[in-house]
């Protein structure tokens, strides 16, 4: 008997890291690693479920920056080159390790896996991964959520409603461009909510979003069912709260499944360990050592001592942990359903890149989870939030509190002494963009190009990733330089446009460098016309 539901939600996001100005770029490897280790393994896993006629339900957000990069011909070409290099290295490793006990089997595993990745990417989907997500969505197995244009941190923009609206509109337009339909739900970047966003979401036809647990638990009035059922804002937007218990079981560094000693160790990579002359062709052209994805050890314990990775053990643990996850959700649902007048829903959101990249066995775990749920007689089913809303439309009205899923639950990660300097610049460019959008109602073709590029630079400067990276202390120079570069490009465009002297050659150069959102319309920043120019 079905007593409740579980909704698995994966958030797939990377900042816009396309760099044609460099022959190779470490930040582009973020994308290539995510495609190789997370996105394609997840797609292949879902294809396997379809082939075996396993009914499943999964929800996934794919951000506009990621969609744009997955569809970019320049990045597709570079990814194929990256993949060829990875396969070449794995072939050398099969030879090098052939007499090394246990390690040789792992090397063969990587070689087989990388050839499968190439087959899925180049042949099965003809280098068009977005078509895979469209396919799963059209079959009713996957629900894809929209997201803000460049994953901007919206609560720190609520003094500029036109800026928030531009992010939402661009996000939804990009979704329609690549997925071919209107989204029902949206992933707010960093699960960061401010009440000022409600009327914008309603305006653009969004029915629901997912919030951090305390965003729902501290709502007014207090939610009757906590995070076990959605609430609906006074503006009519449903809100699903993240379940804390299931989050801890997967996310926690100490208690979560990914920390199991039999799982693959992420940080021991041959790119940092093998002889420099041997590994040189497979790292950065300037000699900087980087991850190659070939890792031969398991977590083993908390010390630096690591034992060889045994793939069979990792697979076995993934199945065990999937069973444990199901058991715990059954206990939750059995407990909650006894005091509710409708079936509870347990919402489990995670970063998609956790599965495969950070947690190598993550896609296997998810595969076991879907298969066990389908084949077992248990008290819950998998569901998407949109399906749940349609089945149980009677929802308590409550106002969620401002919140995020960042450290301490509010804005501290994105506003602190490491990154507070960026906001005076971001505020100024918003004011200048609004000024230009209102001033240039009938621009020349060249002015229109410059105005549209100014919006692109503004949106890219607003990416929450830059402030986040500055706070974490990794790649801080890159994050600061990206912010400065986009602000400086915007300011030059502003001066050129308002001064009546647009540098056409320079404009063409930055249109090529920052070519995201080809259908952008600068009028989204017009005070009178915000929201009018929906596609």
| Cis ω before 428 (30° cut-off from 0) | no
Q: Is 402 helix (H, G, I), strand (E, B) or coil?
A: coil
Asked whether the predicted pLDDT for residue 534 surpasses 50, the reply is no
Pairing of strands 4-12, 58-62: parallel
Is 72 labelled a binding residue?
no
Residues 325 and 457 both lie in one domain: no
Residues 358 and 321 both lie in one domain: yes
Rounded Cα–Cα distance for residues 262 and 301 (Å): 9
Per-residue confidence band for 531, with pLDDT thresholds at 50, 70 and 90? very low
Does 465 map to a domain? Answer: yes
Does 296 map to a domain? Answer: no
Residues 341 and 388 both lie in one domain: yes
Residues 62 and 176 both lie in one domain: yes
Residues 355 and 488 both lie in one domain: no
Q: Which residue has the tokens 């930040």?
A: 27
Residues 423 and 511 both lie in one domain: yes
CATH of residue 447: 1.20.1430.10
Residues 404 and 420 both lie in one domain: no
Is 358 labelled a binding residue?
no
Q: Which residue has the tokens 């040789």?
A: 104
Rounded Cα–Cα distance for residues 79 and 85 (Å): 10
Instruction: Write down the pLDDT at residue 528.
Output: 67
H/E stretch holding 417: none
Does 27 map to a domain? Answer: no
Residues 434 and 516 both lie in one domain: yes
183-186: Cβ within 8 A, 24+ apart: 183/144, 183/145, 183/146, 184/143, 184/208, 184/386, 185/59, 185/143, 185/145, 185/146, 185/209, 185/210, 185/385, 185/386, 186/61, 186/145, 186/146, 186/147, 186/148
Q: Which of 375, 408, 441 is the last residue of a domain?
A: 408
Q: Which of 356, 384, 408 is the last residue of a domain?
A: 408
Residues 218 and 159 both lie in one domain: yes
Does 273 map to a domain? Answer: no
For 461-497, write each residue's pLDDT tens digit.
999 999 999 999 999 999 999 999 999 999 999 999 9
Does 86 map to a domain? Answer: no
Q: Is 532 helix (H, G, I), strand (E, B) or coil?
A: coil
Residues 360 and 446 both lie in one domain: no
> Average pLDDT, stretch 161-184?
98
Per-residue confidence band for 253, with pLDDT thresholds at 50, 70 and 90? confident
Does 59 map to a domain? Answer: yes
For residue 413, how many other CB atoms are within 10 A of its CB?
Answer: 23
Asked whether the predicted pLDDT for residue 384 surpasses 50, the reply is yes
Rounded Cα–Cα distance for residues 371 and 50 (Å): 11
CATH of residue 244: 3.20.110.10
- Beta strand residue intervals within 69-182, DSSP E: 142-147
**Residue span of the structural domain in which 45 resides:** 4-21+41-70+128-260+311-408
For 42-65, write each residue's pLDDT tens digit.
999 999 999 999 999 999 999 999
Is 405 labelled a binding residue?
yes
Q: Which of 388, 408, 428 is the last residue of a domain?
A: 408
Whole-prediction pTM = 0.97
User: Which residues have a catalytic role annotated?
Assistant: 190, 351
Rounded Cα–Cα distance for residues 83 and 89 (Å): 10
Asked whether the predicted pLDDT for residue 240 surpasses 50, the reply is yes
H/E stretch holding 213: helix 213-217
Q: Provide the token pair at 247.
A: 């989050």
- Dihedral angle, C-alpha 73, 75, 79, 80, nearest 10 °: 20
Q: Provide the token pair at 330.
A: 């059954």
Tell the burial category of 511 from Cβ atoms under 10 Å away from its Cβ (0-12, 13-18, 19+): middle
Instruction: Write down the pLDDT at residue 533.
Output: 40
Residues 423 and 404 both lie in one domain: no
Is 158 labelled a binding residue?
no
What total number of domains does the chain contain?
Answer: 2
> Average pLDDT, stretch 284-291?
96
Residues 429 and 398 both lie in one domain: no
């Amino acid at each position: 008997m079905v007593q409740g539901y579980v909704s698995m939600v994966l958030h797939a996001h990377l900042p816009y890291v396309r760099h044609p100005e460099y022959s190779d770029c470490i930040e582009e490897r973020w994308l290539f690693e995510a495609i190789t280790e997370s996105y394609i393994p997840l797609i292949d896993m879902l294809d396997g479920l379809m082939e075996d006629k396993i009914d499943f339900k999964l929800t996934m957000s794919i951000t506009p920056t990621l969609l744009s990069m997955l569809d970019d011909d320049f990045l597709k070409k570079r990814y194929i080159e990256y993949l060829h290099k990875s396969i070449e290295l794995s072939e050398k490793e099969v030879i090098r390790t052939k007499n090394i006990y246990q390690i040789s089997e792992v090397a063969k595993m990587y070689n087989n896996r990388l050839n499968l990745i190439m087959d899925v990417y180049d042949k099965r989907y003809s280098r068009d991964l977005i078509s895979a997500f469209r396919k799963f969505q059209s079959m009713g197995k996957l629900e894809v959520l929209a997201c803000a244009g460049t994953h901007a941190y919206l609560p720190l923009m609520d003094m500029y409603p036109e800026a928030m609206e531009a992010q939402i509109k661009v996000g939804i337009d990009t979704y329609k461009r690549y997925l071919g339909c209107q989204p029902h739900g949206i992933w707010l970047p960093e699960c960061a909510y401010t009440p000022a966003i409600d009327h914008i979401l309603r305006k653009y036809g969004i029915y629901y979003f997912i919030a951090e647990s305390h965003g729902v638990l501290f709502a007014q009035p207090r939610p009757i069912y906590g995070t076990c059922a959605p609430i609906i804002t006074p503006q009519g937007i449903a809100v699903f709260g993240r379940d804390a218990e299931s989050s801890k079981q997967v996310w926690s560094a100490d208690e979560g499944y990914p920390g199991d000693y039999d799982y693959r160790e992420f940080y021991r990579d041959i790119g940092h360990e093998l002889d420099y002359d041997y590994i040189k062709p497979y790292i950065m052209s300037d000699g900087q050592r980087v991850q190659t994805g070939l890792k031969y050890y398991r977590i083993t314990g908390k010390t630096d001592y690591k034992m060889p990775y045994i793939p069979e053990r990792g697979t076995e643990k993934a199945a065990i942990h999937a069973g444990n996850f199901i058991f715990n959700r059954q206990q939750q649902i059995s407990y909650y359903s006894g005091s509710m007048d409708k079936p509870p829903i347990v919402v489990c959101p995670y970063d998609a890149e956790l599965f495969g990249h950070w947690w190598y066995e993550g896609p296997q775990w998810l595969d076991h989870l879907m298969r066990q749920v389908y084949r077992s007689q248990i008290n819950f089913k998998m569901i998407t939030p949109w399906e749940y809303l349609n089945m149980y439309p009677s929802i308590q009205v409550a106002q969620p509190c401002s919140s995020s899923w960042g450290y301490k639950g509010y804005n501290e990660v994105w506003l602190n002494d490491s990154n507070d300097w960026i906001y005076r610049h971001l505020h100024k460019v918003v004011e200048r963009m609004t000024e230009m959008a209102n001033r240039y109602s009938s621009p020349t073709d060249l002015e229109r190009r410059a105005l549209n590029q100014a919006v692109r630079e503004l949106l890219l400067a607003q990416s929450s990733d830059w402030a986040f990276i500055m706070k974490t202390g990794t790649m801080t120079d890159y994050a600061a330089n990206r912010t400065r570069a986009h602000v400086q490009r915007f300011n030059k465009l502003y001066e050129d446009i308002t001064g009546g002297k647009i540098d056409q050659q320079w404009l063409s150069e930055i249109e090529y460098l920052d070519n995201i959102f080809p259908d952008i319309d600068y009028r989204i920043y017009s005070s009178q016309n915000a929201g009018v120019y929906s596609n």
